Structure 1
Amino acid sequence: MTSSAGRCSSASRRRPRRRPPRRGRRAGRSSSPRSSSARRSRRRGSTTPLAADPLGEFRDLLRRPDGEIDLGRAALAIARVEYPDLQGGPWLARLDDLAERSGAGALGGRRALDRLRAFLFEEEGFRGNGEEYYDPRNSFLNDVLARRLGIPITLSLVTMEVGRRVGLAIEGVGLPAHFVVTVSVAGSDVVVDPFGGGRVITRREAEAIVARAVGRPVKLAEAHFARATRSTIVARMLNNLKSIYAQRQEWRKALAVIDRLLVIEAGDTALLGERSAALVRLHQQMASRN
């Protein structure tokens, strides 16, 4: 099944040419964190109630003006495709806890950014899962927080959500076949590569990273470093997951992802065609098992 929502980014139109991953174990049911902060959150009764309609919950989150979309909550709503009983509160508390323990909030400017990078990628050990890049767990915020493993967009999302909690002006940037963040420091934008261990990178280094991902030389223009809207970030996460489920022939979950993409790209003819094709394949799959 081909990727749609091509307007979001060039990366969402085709899968990056990366080293094929080793087969990994299927995602476990990690629906609640074990951190002390999460347990305190549960005792305080701050867990997010389960929505009776997960798609409706997602629709409500994405219906807001773009700048008001809560990326953490939206990412957890995506994870409910895999974990229907997932409660968001403990995982949002985990982000709060990371921000508090980082100590970056007591600093400012570049010192705050450097402290956050050291905390997340050295002390906490968040890293890119290059060995099993297409493991769906890399796309679920709860799994990324629990396993400290992710892909560029989910590691960037963690960096953005923790960074905002400590007062950094941090935004996502959707490069072709890669995702990074930029932080405004003293009037300049600092580019950080969360998948690359939280390194600060130059524009030329970004070109080299993208070139390796797509398998050919790339020249990035200024427009490539524009801030990604929050709805675009969510769509890109969904497109990644859609491709993974299609490759694994998990058509019921692929349909759930497409339905969420249609919340963002309502009436998109390519998506509607993909939905019809996935539905046919699901019916064929069910018939073959009977």
Structure 2
Amino acid sequence: MPTTHLDYFSTLVAEDAHFPLTEAAISVGQHAFPDLDVQAVMDEIDTMSVKLQQRFTPETSHLQKLQHLKHFFFTEMGFGLNTNDYYDPENSYVHSILKSRRGIPISLAIVIIELGGQIGLNIKGISFPNHFLVRISLPQGEVVMDPTTGSSLSKNELQAMLDPYLDAQGYRDELSLPLSLFLRSSGPREILSRFLRNLKAIYSHEDRWERLLSIQQRLAILLPNEIEEIRDRGLAFAQLEYLRPAIADLSKYIQTVPEAKDAPQIREQLAEIEKNLKLH
């Protein structure tokens, strides 16, 4: 039986074949809300699903189910984008958005994906630049939907959303990348990593190091092969003066990618931490 919240998170994200995205996303909140009952939040979503299911008959088509889902989620329940405080970290905690009915695209999408799956829709997440989307596969074709409004997006609308990103990355004119490249489905691990990195960005910006470390620990567990996440966990440890784990993480980074662009700065920081450890 897992003994800590991190152990619990580790068991949830251990295998791609059995990856409970919703439960893992809810469990992220335990770092900030230690008494959070993940199962109770899951039950709350299940209750919403049951309310939806009661509206269907055996003849209800997938298109009709999608229409019911959108009306229930956006109109009846009143879910939507938190435009008043977009960067509030509570927008990324599933249990919080179930109470406030306000979130950001990816957190709202996770609830929609869970509800859609429970009512038999083939619904996937799309890690689109700057705005997470969902795609529903229907007999009539594919629908790409904005999880903050329920609006179906045309190719022209999607291209207009993509163009500023392509401009910023220098991918226009002869280097332009096709829209289809950005509309592929994202797996649960990819979705959860983007979910966590939103919180990472917020807590980094606010210099909330304890909160940042908790998120960074989960990123390092979720993405064990991404050495930059180990580095960033080490830097968070260092900020909080957890010197030994900081040394372990930063040393691993230097050993793995000795020619990294930031290797000189990391080596310098590592030497400083080791010096401080000797003084303790």
| TM-score between the two structures when normalised by the length of structure 2 | 0.77
Q: Which runs of 5+ in 1 are unaligned?
A: 1-49, 285-290
Q: Which has the higher helix share?
A: 2
Contact 2:220-2:233 at 8 Å conserved across structures: no
Post-superposition shift, 1:203?
2.2
- Out of 72, 87, 90, the residue aligned to residue 37 of structure 2 is 87
Secondary structure, counterpart of 2:135 in structure 1: strand
- Out of 62, 79, 84, the residue aligned to residue 126 of structure 1 is 79
Aligned amino acid, residue 207 of structure 1: Q
Post-superposition shift, 1:149?
0.6
Structure 1 CA distance for aligned equivalents of residues 107 and 31 of structure 2: 16
Alignment pair present for 1:109 and 2:62: yes
Partner residue of 1:78? 28
Partner residue of 1:30? none
Name which structure has the greater RCO, CA cutoff 8 Å, separation 6+: 1
Q: How do residues 155-166 of structure 1 correspond to structure 2 at under 5 angstroms? A: 155-166=108-119
Partner residue of 1:268? 226
Secondary structure, counterpart of 2:236 in structure 1: helix
Partner residue of 1:140? 93
Partner residue of 1:45? none
Structure 2 CA distance for aligned equivalents of residues 148 and 179 of structure 1: 17
Structure 2 CA distance for aligned equivalents of residues 135 and 100 of structure 1: 30
Post-superposition shift, 1:220?
4.8
Q: Which runs of 5+ in 2 are unaligned?
A: 243-280
Contact 2:16-2:189 at 8 Å conserved across structures: no
Secondary structure, counterpart of 1:131 in structure 2: coil
| TM-score between the two structures when normalised by the length of structure 1 | 0.75
Report the CA distance shift for 1:51/1:88 in structure 2 as closer, same or farther (over 3 A): farther
Contact 1:178-1:213 at 8 Å conserved across structures: no
Partner residue of 1:223? 181
Structure 1 CA distance for aligned equivalents of residues 109 and 178 of structure 2: 19
Deviations 1:142-177, CA, capped at 9 Å, x for gaps: 011111011010111111001111111111011011
Q: Which structure is larger by alpha-carbon Rg, 1 or 2? A: 2
What is the CA RMSD across the aligned residues, in angstroms? Answer: 2.2
Post-superposition shift, 1:93?
1.2
Structure 1 CA distance for aligned equivalents of residues 187 and 206 of structure 2: 29
Post-superposition shift, 1:65?
2.7
- Out of 46, 51, 54, the residue aligned to residue 96 of structure 1 is 46
Partner residue of 2:157? 205
Partner residue of 2:13? 62
Alignment pair present for 1:251 and 2:209: yes
Partner residue of 1:287? none
Report the CA distance shift for 1:64/1:202 in structure 2 as closer, same or farther (over 3 A): same
